[in-house]
Structure formats: structure tokens, C-alpha cells
Amino acid sequence: MKNLRGPYPAGKKPYGSSRRAASVVLAAGLVALGTACGSSGGASSTSSSPKSITVAVAYPSPPAAELAQFTKETGIKVNWVNIGWDDLQTKIAAAAAANTYFADATDVDWSKVGEYQKTGWFYPLNKYFSMSALKPDMPQLDTFVSNGDLMGVPFDASFITTTVNTKDFAKAGIKTIPTTLPAFTAALKQVGTANHMANPLDIQLATAEGLSTCWYQMTAAFGGQVLTSADSPNFTSPTSPGYQAMSWMVNAYKSGLVPKANINTTDYDGFTTEMAKNRVAAALCDYSGSVGSIYNVASSSSVVNQTQYVSTPGASGVGLAVANPDGIGIPKTAKNVAGAVKFINWFTSTQNQATWAGLKGPKNVVSTFPLPDRLSSFNLLVKAGNINDASQLAAILRAHAQAPFPNGAPPWYVQFSAAVQTNIHEAAAGQETVAQATTAIASTVSQLKASG
């Protein structure tokens, strides 16, 4: 989930309006009105216009010329609505609960897949897209599958990774980045001393989605996943990867490896600023794409051409990377389902995915687009040689990116994530132990499973 991309989480985009409290009450009231009015809104699906679709995503539009080409090919005009991630999630829930149309295609975050499958707010896309045909080319497709239903199609690829400042490491005499966490920890201490950095490591520890995601990533680095395939807790034993990951994160903070402020830095911009301003030398749980879109931007970064991606160090070797793609799906209240299917096909095609990432040059790039969702698009980019570290990223994507949960995000993911954030944050702040935190999270999982 990207709810950390702005003052407020995908994610959390500088999310939020200045009059949010009033919006919450008004939105709640309007949703109540919608639900009280029954299902009359659903009838709107019969009044669809085959000539246009509305696409609502937390993403900038592709270049107008490209959209015009789509219109020329299909006769469908695209009304592109770019909404902040947080506001979009609220809008999706409010519109679905009130059974009201708001878009034909919209964001499906991986964290919402189970929720949408259970509530039936989105169409399963299995009959429109062949999972078996897409899977070999889209390594992160599984992230959008819940109980066999394909709830969305990834329209970019993103995964959690580690970024390091190679100049800082070199200054400490470290030319090869360690691949195990004990060696990486020792190296960071050396780097801190050599560069006069009090706290050389960036990890998110504030009560925000980024903290939950980081725990899933660190658990993967320790060789596991936090939930079993039956969605049961897999982190209560002190020897489990989830428990060990949480202990490592809390200790990293308490030992001073991580800046004190990280416990309250809820937005992703604040997190990446530490690296961009060279106040830290490494960032665990960073997003693929940060090097090109943040750290190599000369106007706002002092570490241009100094950072690079490395595979996250693990307990005994390189760890797996957790997938974090954006997806697009079709809400049940869509007016033009056929048009939305055509658009998703077009938007996620091999050629266009490579185009959004820079195949045709900067003029056709979709700004903030991280990586293509298809390996075939990567092949085009590697061949053209016009994306930073394309072959390295493609290799990580192909071999190491795994879905955060074995069975897709559960329907109660949001409450689970809230418990994760709150308890790890409190463990780092010294308000509870790691054992208490894991017990509390496990208890929440039991309650959530019991309540269906």
C-alpha cells in the first residue's frame, strides 16, 4: 500500500484535505443517505455511454497524445481523474456503500483485494483477462488474486527494496554491500562513524502503512510471511521470521541506528528526505523507483548518482522483496464495463508500459511511474537502454518479488495493519515489549477471523 507517498499514505499522499473532519462527517452522512436509499443507484449501470469512460486513480494522466490515440483506436474518450490515494479509498468505499457511480475503472490497492472480493464491490476480472496467459509476464499478478478471483490488474510494478549511499559506504571502506543483516548492521555502524552520521539507517516506525509494509518486508528478509495460507498468525514464536524481524527493527531503533524522528515520520516524503539530504546512508523498506524519481533529482537531492538499489539483506543471505504494485479494476457501479476492459488492456500492454517508463523518451513518460508491470516491457527498456538499473530491477522483479500474503490480503487487512502499526510503534517507543506486541497483533487476528 502506498499510503506513504505524500502527507498521507498511496498512498498516503499528502493526503488529506484541510477540512477533513468536516468531510468525514459529511461523507458519513452522505453514505448513510445512500445506504438508506437502498439500491437505486445501481440502476445507473444501464444508462452507460459507450463513448466515454472515467478512470479515477491516484496517478497522473498519460500524455494527452497517447490518450487521443486510444480514443482513435477504440472510439472511447477517457476522462482521467487524478485523486490523492487516501481520498480515493474513501471515495471508493463511500460510492460502493451508497451504490453510486463514480468511475468505470479505478485503483485496486493490493491491501484491498480481500475486502473487495468479499464485499463484491468490484467485478472479478477472470472472464476478461487470462490469468494463466498473463502470469508468466506479470510476476506480481498474484498480489491481486483473492480466493481465485482476479480483482485488479497491476498497472505498474513496484516492490520493497533497500537503497544505499555507495559513497558513504565507500568512505567507510566498504565496497561490497553485505548480504546478511548482522553484517549489514555492523557495516552501518562503520558507515555512521566514518561519515559522522549519528543514525545512518532509515526505517519507517511511525503509525502509518509504511511500518506495516516494512515489517512484511523484513519478515520476508528473515525467510517467512506474517500470515499462513489460512490467514493465521505466523509470528508469535520467538524463532519465527515475523518475530525476529520485529525484534530486529525495534532493536535497530533503540540502539540508535535509526533517527529518533522516524517514530513520528508518517509520510513517505519525510522518510525519503533523510536519504535525499544524506542524513542517512541506507534505507530499508524503500520503494523501487526512488533512486530515479527522488534521489537523483538534483533540485531536491544532495545524493545525486550516489545511491543504488541492493537486495534487502536477510538472516543468512539476500532476502526476498515484497511486491507493492498498483492495480486497476472495475467497480460494480461502472457504467461502461466493456470500455473499462479495453482501457485496462491498453494501459497495461507491453508497449505502453514501456512507454510510460521512458521507452519513447521523457515526453511520453507518466510522471511518478515506477516500473512496468510486464517483463516483456522491461526487455524493451533494457534493449533501448533508457531506464536506470533496468536489468537489475528486472532481475529482482523476476526472481525475488513475492506477494505480502500467501492468500492475498485478507478482507480485514486494514484492521490488521492498524494493529501492526500501533503495536510495533509502541514496542519501538518502549511502551510494550516485542512479545506483547506480537501477542496483541495475534489476538487482533483471532478476533477478526472470528468475526468473519
Partner 1 sequence: MSAPLRGRILPYILVSPLVVFIGVLSFVPTVATTVEAFFRVMPLDPPNRFIGFGNFRALFANSVITTSWINTALYAAIGVVLSVVFGTVIAVALRRRFRFRGVILALVILPWALPAVVEAVIWSWIYNPTFGVMNSALHSAHAIGGYHLWLGLDRWLTIALIEVVQVWQITPLSALIILASLQAIPQELYEAAKVDGAGAVQQFFRISLPLIRSAVAVSIVEALVLSLNVFDQVYILNGIAPLGSSVMLQTYIQTFENLNFGGGYALSLLVTIATALVSLGALALLYRRTEAV
Chain residues in the site for partner 1 (CB under 8 A)? 7-8, 14, 16-22, 24-33, 35-36, 89-90, 93-94, 96-97, 115, 118-119, 121, 198-199, 206-208, 259-261, 263-267, 270, 279, 411-412, 414-415, 418, 421-422, 425-426, 429-431, 451-452
Q: Output b/e per residue, 190-201; b: 16+ Cβ within 10 A.
A: bbbebbebebbb
Report the nearest approach of partner 1 to the CB of residue 417 (Å).
9
Minimal distance, residue 119 CB to partner 1, in Å:
4
Q: Which is nearer to partner 1, 259 or 314 (CB)?
A: 259
> How many angstroms separate the CA atoms of 433 and 207, rounded?
16
> Is beta strand 307-310 parallel, antiparallel or unpaired with respect to 160-165?
antiparallel
The span from the CA of 56 to the CA of 102, in Å, is: 8
Can you tell me whether residue 150 is helix, strand or coil? strand
Question: From the CA atom positions of the chain, what is the Rg in Å?
Answer: 22
85-97 helix and 20-36 helix, angle to the nearest 10 degrees: 20
Closest CA to 210 of 282, 267, 270: 267
Nearer to partner 1 (CB atom), residue 34 or residue 314: 34
C-alpha cell at 410: 485478507
Please name the amino acid found at residue 203. Answer: I
Q: Rounded to the nearest whole angstrom, what is the least distance from the CB of residue 384 to partner 1 in the complex?
A: 39
Q: How far is the CB of 402 from partner 1 (least distance, A)?
A: 25
Nearer to partner 1, 135 or 277 (CB): 277
Cβ closest to partner 1, residue 255 vs residue 305: 255
* C-alpha dihedral sign at 437, 443, 444, 449: positive
Question: 246 near 438, Cβ under 8 Å?
Answer: yes
Residue 130 beta carbon to partner 1: minimum distance, rounded to whole angstroms: 29
Residue among 209 and 373 whose Cβ is closer to partner 1: 209
Minimum distance, C-beta of residue 427 to partner 1, in the bound complex (Å): 12
Tell me the closest approach of the beta carbon of residue 347 to partner 1, in angstroms. 27
Torsion of CA 40, 42, 45, 46, to 10 degrees: -40
Q: What angle do CA 274, 396, 174 make, to 5 degrees?
A: 50
Which sign, positive or negative, has the C-alpha torsion 298, 65, 329, 153? negative
Closest to partner 1 by CB, 94 vs 134, is 94
Q: Looking at beta carbons only, is 321 or 334 nearer to partner 1?
A: 334
Q: Which is nearer to partner 1, 17 or 40 (CB)?
A: 17
CB 413 to partner 1: min, Å: 10
